[in-house]
Amino acid sequence: MNTEFPPRLATLLLCDAAGDLLGTLPPFQVELPWWQDVAGVVVGARERFGIEVTVLRLVEAATGWGTAGGPVTYLAEVTAAPETGLAPWSGDDPLGEHPLRLPYARPGGPAADLAWADAARAAGGRPRTGPAEQMRTWNLSSIWRLPTAGGPTWLKVVPPFFAHEGAMLGRLDPAVVPPLVATEGPRALLADVPGDDHWGAELPVLRRLVEMLVGLQASWSGRIGELEELGAPDWRAPTFVPAAERLLALTEPDLDGDTVARLAVLVDGLPERFGAVAECGLPATLVHGDFHPGNSRGSAADDGRSVLLDWGDCGIGHPLLDQAASLASIRADQRDELRAHWSGLWRSAVPRSDPDRAAELLEPVAALQRALVYRSFLEAVEPSEHVYHSGDPAHWLRRAAVAMEA
């Protein structure tokens, strides 16, 4: 049991496939605290109430612990409701239309995604051999584990602002990304990757991950047009500077005066800073956008194989935008060696470049970029799910101010 957060107490508001509300079940405790992890919610409904549910979306959640623990209410679709035990729902209508609601957050939406995946698997000669397992659902993804005779496959469905991920996986080096079985729009079907996620990885694995990323980025530096065609966001100066100006104006009420003043200096100086970064000699290319050890999976052995996951955040920009947040996600005693390795790889790839200076100049810019990403989430998801991201833009702006001061 996770002890960092209070227990997650899940209440299910049930509806049927036709979109009619049926009522709520009594709350029950779920082992893992994170709201978007719904596998335990599905199992809990089965064990406690004898029903099969598909979680559609978050309806309500207590605040105070981030996005984990405490009371949380989900809208869940059910084929057959329990005969007793349902209480009436007294809140707002969770089935009222909202223009930003995702297809997989609506009754019938997950079933349509699974039907697509079943057809794709059957066409590839690997039909499903058992029930699909819902693993995660929130405003950034819907993830299902699908058993086949050759091992599990994974269905990932994403919102429109991540819809380039499947096409991107189809163009990246298959040696360093999850095997793509099929993709269509926001849907991607992926083969299983043996091993573990690399949270807490040691330096040999971290070095391997950086080598994979830099190799990809070096190979994509002349393919910006392809990224633009895929609809990847653009974090180069002409689009970044006005976006940062707008972000600061929108987020200023959530920040203290000193932070706002430092950020104003940073944002006003962005054109000059981008010019200095360009003089360091590294080209614009593919940016992963959320590069940290948890977004990779594979073997922990020194000579093992890994893949880089979660390319929905990818975009166009300076390759070292990926460095600052990545270094912050590892142990302090690992950072200097990994930073030096990162710079050495780029000096080999682009002789006479100055990656150390570029990384130093980009550290506050990278934090600004994360703030921009989270602001874009808030503007693209319906209000009931703002709770997942509401504090993130201000958090990353504060980090940008600190990095600029340093």
**pLDDT digit string, tens, across residues 100-148:** 999 999 999 999 999 999 999 988 888 999 999 999 999 999 999 999 9
> Once rounded to an integer, what is the mean pLDDT over residues 186-204?
96
Please provide the average confidence, as pLDDT, over all residues in the chain. 95
Q: Look at residue 1 in the predicted model and tell me its pLDDT.
A: 37
Burial category of 211 from C-beta neighbours within 10 Å (exposed 0-12, middle 13-18, buried 19 and up): middle
The answer to whether residue 64 scores a pLDDT higher than 70 is no
CATH 3.30.200.20 fits 104-191, yes or no: yes
Q: Look at residue 65 in the predicted model and tell me its pLDDT.
A: 63
* Residue boundaries of the structural domains of the chain: 8-96, 104-191, 197-405
* Total Cβ atoms within 10 A of residue 323: 24
CATH assignment, 197-405: 3.90.1200.10
Give per-residue pLDDT as tens, 375-404. Answer: 999 999 999 899 999 999 999 999 999 998
Tell me which DSSP letter residue 185 carries: T
The answer to whether residue 265 scores a pLDDT higher than 70 is yes
Give per-residue pLDDT as tens, 255-264. Answer: 999 999 999 9
Please report which confidence band the pLDDT of residue 81 belongs to, taking 50, 70 and 90 as the band edges: confident
> Once rounded to an integer, what is the mean pLDDT over residues 239-243?
98
Cα separation, 230 vs 168, in Å, equals: 8
Give per-residue pLDDT as tens, 138-188. Answer: 999 999 999 999 899 999 999 999 999 999 999 999 999 999 999 999 999
- E strand or H helix at 272: helix 270-278
Determine the longest span between alpha carbons in the chain, in angstroms.
73
CA 244 to the chain's CA centroid: 21
CA dist list (Å): 12 to 51, 67, 152, 330, 360: 11, 17, 28, 37, 48
Please report which confidence band the pLDDT of residue 350 belongs to, taking 50, 70 and 90 as the band edges: very high
Q: At what angle do helices 392-405 and 257-268 cross, to 10 degrees?
A: 70
The answer to whether residue 233 scores a pLDDT higher than 60 is yes
- E strand or H helix at 322: none
Q: What is the pTM of this model?
A: 0.95
Please report which confidence band the pLDDT of residue 244 belongs to, taking 50, 70 and 90 as the band edges: very high
Structure token digits, residue 286:
């593919």
